Amino acid sequence: MCMSVHAVVRFEAQQSIPASDFRLFFDTAETPLGASLLSSRPNPQEDGYFLLLVTPPLAGQQAARLSKTVVLVVDRSGSMAGKKMEQAKESLLFVLNHLQPEDTFNIVAYDSQVELFRPELQRADAATLQAARGL
Please count the structural domains in the chain: 1
CATH of the domain at 86: 3.40.50.410
Range of the domain at 103: 69-133
In contact, 87 and 123? CB cutoff 8 Å: no
- Residue 49 falls inside a structural domain: no
pLDDT tens string 1-48: 556 667 777 878 888 877 777 777 665 656 677 778 888 999 999 998
Distance CA 78, CA 126 (A): 31
Q: What's the predicted TM-score (pTM) here? A: 0.54
- Residue 10 falls inside a structural domain: no
- Residue 87 falls inside a structural domain: yes
All residues at 6 or more sequence positions from 128 whose CB lies less than 8 Å from its CB, including other chains: 118, 122
pLDDT tens string 85-120: 999 999 999 999 999 999 999 999 999 999 999 999
